[in-house]
Amino acid sequence: MLLRAAFARRGSALLVFVGLGLVMNDARSEANAPLDSTPSVRGITLPDALAFARAHEPQIRAALSRVAEDRAAAEIPRGQWLPTIGVTAQLFGGTANNTTASYITPPFMDIPRIGATRASSAGSASWKPYASTFAGAGLTQELFDFGRIAAQSAAADALVEVGKHDADAERLDVEFGVEEAFFAVQASKAVLVAAKDAFERSRVHRDLAQRGVAAGLRSPIELARAEADLQRFDTARIRAAGNVSISQNVLSAAIGSAEPALDAVGEPPTPAEMPALSRAIELASARDPRLLSTFARLKQQEQQTRAIGAELRPDLLVTSTLSGRAGGAPPSSGQGADYSGWLPSVPNWDVGVVLSWPIFDGTIDARRTASRTAERVRRDETEVARQELVASVHQTYITVQVTRDALPGLEGAVRAARANYAQADARFKSGLGTSVELADAEALRAGTEIDLAVGIFDLARARAAFGRAIAEGL
């Protein structure tokens, strides 16, 4: 996902501001900062973003299309209950030396039947060709399949269930990505506010140092340090504005919107209180689509094994043909065909019931053995998926607790840093403090405010990840 590349592990965009106090770059003045030229971006709430993603996100649409494809494929075995109707017209020439030899028709060679012609020995055989024509229509209808079609249909239906669970997993992944992107926009905007505030305070201090130096009350080194701090915070401010635009672009891409960027507005719905860990594992085991998909794949493989074995069951069908034929060769008795066999003028029809039973087929037996081996693989995969799910629930559960417990400390650090800054600011304005002392206080305040913004993002993301682990959205 684009979001994971931009904000996983706090994200490259946010890490720029964690080290705000250490940012040193080429000087940029506040006059050429492009912060006010950013085009307006349409805002979207989290519920609306999720609803839009469900309807338009390409991954979800592709997953639903695959389910529809599997449903259509599941109807193929049932088509065997429909009659097979075909017509044929044939015209060919060849010799007509009859014999009492018997033969079979292999699948790779067409041998036309020659009958009712004079029997010929090798010495009296003729190489003269005669015309032969045939035209007919035939119908074949399944009467009883001894459960073969039902077994094939069950295997195809089981594959549809696999596709449904896979589609649910895709949807949950997309929704988690949307939530993550939404929280990242909020975090980047909070970082921008902290960067702007730090820049504005630094500009006030630069102006104060400038007036102090002009009045001879401060050393020029105080102004030089204030100018350096101002340019440093200006660079961070510009980067923060750029990262807001990046995160807005990521949010738009996460929901599948054609707009270049979307802003996160409104407060997201308050998530439900987390259940106990044991209950969370029960919920995840009952509804996680990835785990359910592995169970469905095992069931589908079992059905596939049955369907392969059912190919060795008997097959009973009715066949009927209406045809016309004629052959130009001299018959052994009676009158020859009209038009020398060029017109299929002799009518025939037949209706028959055919029972076929492939008692043994080595290929089918080998396929069934291979399918049974695949069943053992699917069973092992279910255990792997179960362990991964339990580990994921444990990890996300603990992550939520850790980030939640750390949040009061981050808030306390912000309050302390602001109090420390107020004291340093007062000392600087009264002439008791230095620009170094004030710069340290400013860096501490900006850093703790950014840490708080990142901490809020971490908690929101961790709670969304826990919801994904227990399939809360299903």
Q: What does the pLDDT read at residue 9? A: 35
Q: Where are the beta strands (DSSP E) in 76-214?
A: 84-94, 130-144
pLDDT along the chain (474 residues), means of 10: 37 37 35 50 94 93 93 93 84 68 58 70 79 87 94 95 95 95 95 93 88 84 87 92 94 94 91 92 95 96 96 91 85 81 86 89 94 96 96 96 95 95 88 84 92 95 96 86
Helix/strand/coil for 214: helix
What's the CA angle centered on 234, arms 230 and 236, to 5 degrees? Answer: 120
Token digits of residue 309: 């074995």
| Cβ atoms within 10 Å of 234's Cβ, excluding its own | 25
Q: What does the pLDDT read at residue 12? A: 36
Instruction: Find residue 272's DSSP bridge partners.
Output: none
Give the phi and the psi of residue 27 in degrees, each rounded to 5.
Answer: -65, 140
Q: Which of 117, 202, 160 is nearest to 421 (CA)?
A: 202
Structural domains in the chain, CATH included, are 45-74+152-302+366-469 (1.20.1600.10)
Q: What does the pLDDT read at residue 209? A: 84
Helix/strand/coil for 324: strand
**Cβ atoms of residues 117 and 130 within 8 Å:** no
| Cβ atoms within 10 Å of 371's Cβ, excluding its own | 19
Q: What whole-number distance in Å separates Cα of residue 277 and Cα of residue 72?
A: 41
At 74-90, the pLDDT tens digits run: 999 999 999 988 888 87
Q: What does the pLDDT read at residue 99? A: 60
**Lateral strand order in the sheet of 315-327:** 84-94, 130-144, 315-327, 346-356
Q: What does the pLDDT read at residue 322? A: 87
**Cβ atoms of residues 186 and 9 within 8 Å:** no
Q: What does the pLDDT read at residue 26? A: 35
Q: Which of 192, 183, 171 is nearest to 450 (CA)?
A: 192
Q: What does the pLDDT read at residue 216? A: 81
Token digits of residue 22: 């250490």
Helix axes 58-74, 46-56, angle to 10 degrees: 40
Q: What whole-number distance in Å separates Cα of residue 280 and Cα of residue 224?
A: 58
> Can you tell me which residue has the tokens 């001894």?
146
User: 3-state secondary structure string, 327-372?
Assistant: ECCCECCCCCCHHHHCCCCEEEEEEEEEEECCCCCHHHHHHHHHHH
Q: What does the pLDDT read at residue 16? A: 36
Q: What whole-number distance in Å separates Cα of residue 159 and Cα of residue 71?
A: 9
The pTM of the full predicted model, rounded to 2 decimals, is: 0.78
Maximal C-alpha separation, the chain: 138
Q: What whole-number distance in Å separates Cα of residue 187 and Cα of residue 268?
A: 13
